[in-house]
């Protein structure tokens, strides 16, 4: 079974600065997808960024980028120029890409990291 | 309405009540999911439906009964719940299982905050 670990229960950052959230995962599969979701106080889970494991190039979405290290099974999220609206709980998630596998389609989430942005 | 909607947003019920949670997706997707989010625990997948067929029941107690009448609607029927069932219940949808690639990316609704007294 796959596991996802977020070792930072809480992080804080000053507005306009950069912060990195850590995520590691454990899997025996070679093909999979990784996601970062954001859950603000409204509780709506919002997709931030996603990465296909077979792609070596790190995904980027505006101020959000990832550092994907497949060998190390690490998938960190970097938020540049942090804004007050970035304050939320951030979840790292894993999904198998092995069609037909028992876990296909299942998102496995980490425990979450609460990000506070200070003005 | 756009995206994934859930009603009600908040629900308080006694242990002997019967209630239902509703999820509707307006994204043209064919796969729908129920997740449970409890305090200090990772999100737990409960059920998966693909083209109205249940493809996964993640060892969920029978007091939770899902129903998927069509690809746009998903219900979670609740009966004789326990206080430990109090949680945020999130619905998600994706294009379809086995659609391939990132088209299977799941999009979430705002959740129903359930309190069982």
Which are the contacts of B38, defined by CB distance < 8 A and separation ≥ 6? Answer: B44, B86, B87, B88
Chain B residues near residue A23 by CB distance under 8 angstroms: none
Question: Which has the closest alpha carbon to B16: B75, B81, B61, B69?
Answer: B81
The pLDDT value recorded for residue A97 is: 77
Partner residue facing B105 (CB), from A50, A104, A112: A50
Chain A residues near residue B102 by CB distance under 8 angstroms: 33, 50, 52
**pLDDT, tens digit, for every residue of A74-85?**
999 999 999 999
Q: Is the predicted pLDDT of residue A66 greater than 90, yes or no? A: yes
Tell me the mean pLDDT in the region A44-52.
92
Q: Is the predicted pLDDT of residue A108 greater than 60, yes or no? A: yes
**pLDDT, tens digit, for every residue of B11-59?**
999 888 899 999 999 999 988 999 999 987 888 999 988 888 887 777 8
Q: Is the predicted pLDDT of residue A101 greater than 70, yes or no? A: no
Q: What whole-number percentage of chain B has pLDDT above 70?
A: 93
Tell me the mean pLDDT in the region B90-113.
80
Q: Nearest chain A residue to B47 by CA: give it.
A: A106
DSSP string, chain A: --EEE---SEEEEETTS-EEE--EEE-S-SSEEEEEEEE-TT---EEEEEEETT--SPPEETTEEEEEETTTTEEEEEE-S--GGG-EEEEEEEEE--TT-TTBT-EEE---EEEEEE-
Cβ contact (<8 Å) for A107 and B106?
Answer: yes
Q: Is the predicted pLDDT of residue A111 greater than 90, yes or no? A: yes
The pLDDT value recorded for residue B97 is: 64
């Amino acid at each position: 079974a796959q596991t996802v670990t977020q070792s930072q229960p809480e992080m804080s950052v000053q507005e306009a600065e950069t912060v990195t959230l850590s995520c590691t995962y454990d899997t025996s599969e070679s093909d999979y997808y990784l996601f970062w979701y954001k859950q603000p106080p409204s509780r709506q889970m919002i997709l931030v960024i996603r990465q296909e494991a077979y792609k070596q190039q790190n995904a980027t979405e505006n101020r959000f980028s990832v550092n994907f290290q497949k060998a190390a099974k690490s998938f960190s999220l970097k938020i540049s120029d942090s804004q007050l609206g970035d304050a939320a709980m951030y979840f790292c998630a894993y999904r198998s890409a092995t069609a037909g596998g028992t876990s296909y389609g299942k998102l496995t989430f980490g425990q979450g990291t609460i990000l506070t942005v200070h003005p | 309405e756009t995206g994934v909607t859930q009603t009600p947003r908040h629900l308080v019920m006694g242990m002997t009540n019967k209630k239902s949670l509703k999820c509707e997706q307006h994204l043209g997707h064919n796969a729908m999911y129920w997740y449970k989010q409890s305090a200090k625990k990772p999100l737990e997948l409960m059920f998966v439906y693909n083209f109205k067929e249940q493809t996964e029941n993640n060892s969920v107690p029978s007091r939770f009964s899902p129903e998927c009448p069509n690809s746009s609607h998903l219900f979670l029927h609740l009966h004789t719940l326990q206080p430990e069932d109090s949680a945020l219940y999130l619905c998600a949808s994706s294009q379809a299982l086995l659609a391939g690639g990132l088209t299977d990316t799941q999009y979430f609704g705002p959740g129903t905050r359930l309190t069982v007294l």
